[in-house]
Structure formats: structure tokens, C-alpha cells
Structure 1
Amino acid sequence: MTDWAQVRDTGYAVPEGRSPAELVTELAGMLRSPDPVVRDRQAYSILATWIGRGVLSAAELRALGDAMVPRFGDPEIQARTFAPLILDAIVTAGVFEPSWVPPFERWYVAEEDLRGYDEKLGWLHAVAHGADLLGTLGLHSAVEPVQMLRLGIGRLLTPTSYVLRDMEDDRLGYALAVTLTRGDLSDSDAVDWLDPALRALANPPVEGITPEVTNTIRTLRVLYVLADHGVRVGDAKKLTPVPRREQVKTKLADVFRIVTPYYL
């Protein structure tokens, strides 16, 4: 049996005499564990480190990505929410399959368990983990950026009883901002994805400010700040400007004004 704690504590070196492919299968299984130490501190941290260091071949990364996709339909919440983190690392490392995108989109907008942290399961972070992958896909040349923008606003407007916490709205706001740095977005594409928010907020539910309205406004406020100041993409030292900064800010202000007319 592999001593994964020792692997982590000794700088994530691949254990002598073991092949990465063999070990990845074991680690992928551990990603479903309800034990946050096994899942997060061991399986995820080791896999993410190995992916980032180039330990795994492109074929091994593709196989790992294919193994993650069915987990979007897994009955266990922790299995569902750690799949996008691994896919994010794989796509960032340069391996991408178009077939991975639709299952992610279906899961992200439909996930009902939006807890950030659970006392027994540890970090779950469906919205934040999905946002990380959304932002990476939003920058990928093989993915239409407006597709990710629409996914983000769809996630926000989906009815829920849960108000986001633990900086999840910031993570999604950042992902949307990163996607908006794409130079191939048309003028209309850069702002029209916000129309569902305008329509939803213009017809408020009878019960008043619902959690999804709160989540939407908070996330879009993050986006406004990033659109105004620029976005730090990846490890870049300089901020990347949002090409249609003023148009985006104006449309966001239209959204805010419906709920908080005193705000802008």
C-alpha cells in the first residue's frame, strides 16, 4: 500500500519502482473519499502537483480526464465537486477534449448542493471548483467564450436555498472576468449574456430577495471591479484589461440599478 502522506511530505516525488499510470488509478479512486484528508490533502494535492510538473503523459492526462467526466453524475457530492478541479489542472496542462465540456455544463448549472464546507466532508465548493474550470475553458481557443459566460449566469440564476459563502462568488466573478478578456468576443456577446439577469431581476419573486438574486448581485459586483481594473490571468505580473470594459460596466450597472437603484 502506498504511503501517500509520505509522498506529500517528501516533496511529491513519485515513489521508487512505481509507475505514475498505476498510481494515478489509485489516486483517482481516492478522490471519491468522504475523508477530506484522503481526498483533498493527499489525492488532489498529489495529482494536481504531478499534472503541473508534467509527470503524466498526454495520454495519461486524457485518460484521467475521461475518468473524471462520469463523476459529474456521481451520487456523492465530493466526487462531483473534485472532478472539475482535476479537469481544470489537465486543461491548464495543455490536454483538452471537447467531449468533456457538455457534461460539465449540465452538472454545473444543475448542481443543488452548494455547500462550501461541511464539518465531516471538508471542502466541497461546487460553485468555486466549477468556476475554476469555467474560467480555464473560457480562455481556451477551442471553446466559445460566450458559451462559458452564459453558463456562469445560468448557474447564478438557478433557484437555490443557499447563499454563497467562502469566497465562491469571487471565484465565479473572476472566471467570468477572465473569459471577458477574450479578444474574439463580439460587442454583443460581451454584454448580451447578462440579459437573463435583467429579465429575472425585473420580475422579482413574490418572496422578495431570494438566495439566487443575492448570489447574482454579489458575483456581478466582483466582475464589475475586475472589469474596471483589469484581471490577473494566471501567473502574469501585469493586469489584463477587459477589451470592452466600458460596455460591460454599463450593462452591469443596468443590472445593479434594478435591485439597488441607489448604488450606481
Structure 2
Amino acid sequence: MTDWAQVREAGYAVPEGRSTGELVAELMGMLRSPDPVVRDRQAYAVLATWIGRGVLTAEELQALGDEMIPRFGDPEIQARTFAPLILDCIVSAGVYEPHWVPPFERWYVAEEDLRGYDEKLGWLHAIAHGADLLGTLGQHAAVEPIQMLRLGIGRLLTPTSYVLRDMEDDRLGYALAATLTRDDLTESDAVEWLDPVIRALSNPPAEGITPEVTNTIRTLRVVYVLADHSLRVGDEKKLTPIPHREQVKTRLADVFRIVTPYYL
């Protein structure tokens, strides 16, 4: 068994005399561990670093991505929520496969365990980790941006008893805003993804403001702020504006006015 703590201390250098295939297989097993130190600080930290540094070949990255897909159906929550993080690293490194997207979309909308942090399992972050991948896919030329915008709204409007609390709304709001920076997004697509929200809020449930409504409004407020002030996308140091910012802000204001007419 590899001493992964020592690997971290050595600056994530690949252990001598070991193949990356053998090491990645070991890390894959650790990535679904309920121990947050093993899973997050060791397995994820090493894999993310190696992927970012180009240690793994394109073929190895593709195989690793393929191995992530079944984890969206894993019975263990930590296995499910760390799959999109690894896929995010892989796609960001330049390797993308279209068949990775539908399983991710199905999981993201359907996931019921939305806890950010658990005292025993550590960080789970289904919404935030999924948002990171959503934002990366939303900026990928092979993915239609409207597809990711609709996915984000579908996730927000899915009924839940959980009110987001660990900055998940910020992460998803950023992902949606980053997707809106695509210059091939039409003006109508830049605002029509919000139509389901307007319909949902115009026909409120009898119980009043539900958790999913709270989550949706808080997330869209983040999108409004970023549309108003622009945002940093990827490794860019300069701010990137949203092309249809005024139209997006106007439609977002229409959304907010339904729930909070007293400040608009």
C-alpha cells in the first residue's frame, strides 16, 4: 500500500518504480472511502494534482472518466459526489466524452442527499461538486450552453426538504453565470431558461415558501450580482462580462419581483 501522506509531503511526485495505472487504481478505491482524510485529502488531492499537471495520458484520463460514470448510481453518497469533481478535472484538462453528460444530468437532478458537510463523512457537497462540473461543461464548445442552464434550474426546482447552507448556492450561481458568458448563446436562450422558475413561482404551493424556492432565489441572486459586475472565468485574471447582461438582469428581476416585490 502506498504511503499517500508521504506523496503529499513530497509535492505529489509520482512514487518511483510504480506505474500510473497501478497507482490510479489504488486511488480509485480510496476515492469512495467514508474516511474524509483518505477520500478528500489523499485520493482526490493526488488525482486532481496529477490531472492538472498532465501526469496522466489522454487515454488514462478517458478511462478514468469512464470509471466515474457508474459511481453516479453508487449506494454511497461520498462515491456519488466525488465523481463529478474528478470529471470536472478531466474535462478541464481537455478530455471530453459526450456519453459522460447524460448520466451526470440524471444524477444531478435526482440526488436527494444534499448535505454539504457531515461530521463523519466530511464534505459531500452534491450541489457544489455538481455545479463545478456543470460550469465546466457549460463553457465547453461541444456542449450546448442552454442544456446546462436548464440542468441548473431543474436541480434547483426539484422538491427537497434541505435548505442549502455551505455556499452551494454560490457555487451553482457561479456555474450558471459562467455558462451565460458563452458568446454563442442567443439572446432568447439567455433568458428563456428562467421561464420554468417564473411558472413555478407564479403557482406557489399551499405550504408557502418551500426549501427549493429559497434555494432557487438565493442562487439566482448570485447570478444577478455576477451579471451586473462580470466574473472571472477559468484562469482568466480579467473580468468576463455576460453578453446579454441587461436582458438577463431584467428577467431575473421579474423572477425576484414575484417573491419579493417590496425591494424591486
Task: State whether TM-score is above 0.5.
Answer: yes
Equivalent positions of 1:246-257 (< 5 A) are: 246-257=246-257
What residue identity is the alignment partner of 1:119?
E
Matches of 1:30 and 1:43, distance apart in 2: 6
Alpha-carbon displacement from aligned partner over 1:158-213 (angstroms, at most 9, x marks no partner): 00000001110000000000000001111110000000000000111111110000
Matches of 1:9 and 1:213, distance apart in 2: 45
Q: How many residues align?
A: 264
Equivalent positions of 1:86-165 (< 5 A) are: 86-165=86-165
| Structure 2 residue matching 1:262: 3-state secondary structure | helix
| Structure 1 residue matching 2:241: 3-state secondary structure | coil
| Structure 1 residue matching 2:37: 3-state secondary structure | helix
What residue identity is the alignment partner of 1:217?
I
| Structure 1 residue matching 2:160: 3-state secondary structure | coil
What residue identity is the alignment partner of 1:221?
R
Q: Which residue does 1:239 correspond to in 2?
A: 239
| Structure 1 residue matching 2:187: 3-state secondary structure | coil
The TM-score, its normalising length taken from structure 1, stands at 0.99
What residue identity is the alignment partner of 1:243?
P
Deviation at 1:263, TM superposition (A): 2.1
Q: Which residue does 1:207 correspond to in 2?
A: 207
**Percent identity at matched positions?**
86
Matches of 1:160 and 1:37, distance apart in 2: 29
Matches of 1:142 and 1:236, distance apart in 2: 20
> Which structure 1 segments of 5+ residues have no match?
none
Matches of 1:75 and 1:29, distance apart in 2: 15
Matches of 1:7 and 1:143, distance apart in 2: 36
What residue identity is the alignment partner of 1:31?
L
Q: Which residue does 1:171 correspond to in 2?
A: 171
Matches of 1:53 and 1:152, distance apart in 2: 30
What residue identity is the alignment partner of 1:49?
T
Matches of 2:80 and 2:174, distance apart in 1: 22
Matches of 2:154 and 2:262, distance apart in 1: 26
What residue identity is the alignment partner of 2:248?
V
Instruction: Note the aligned Cα RMSD (angstroms).
Output: 0.5
Matches of 2:263 and 2:110, distance apart in 1: 31
| Deviates further, 15-24 or 56-65 | 15-24
Matches of 2:61 and 2:131, distance apart in 1: 21
Q: Which residue does 1:28 correspond to in 2?
A: 28
Q: Which residue does 1:192 correspond to in 2?
A: 192
Matches of 2:263 and 2:84, distance apart in 1: 35
What residue identity is the alignment partner of 1:253?
A
Q: Which residue does 2:7 correspond to in 1?
A: 7
Q: Which residue does 1:219 correspond to in 2?
A: 219
Alpha-carbon displacement from aligned partner over 1:98-132 (angstroms, at most 9, x marks no partner): 00000000000000000000000000000000000
What residue identity is the alignment partner of 2:98?
P
Matches of 1:211 and 1:26, distance apart in 2: 39
Equivalent positions of 1:32-71 (< 5 A) are: 32-71=32-71
Matches of 2:156 and 2:11, distance apart in 1: 38
What residue identity is the alignment partner of 2:151?
L
| Structure 2 residue matching 1:257: 3-state secondary structure | helix
The TM-score, its normalising length taken from structure 2, stands at 0.99
Query: Is 1:78–2:78 an aligned residue pair?
Result: yes
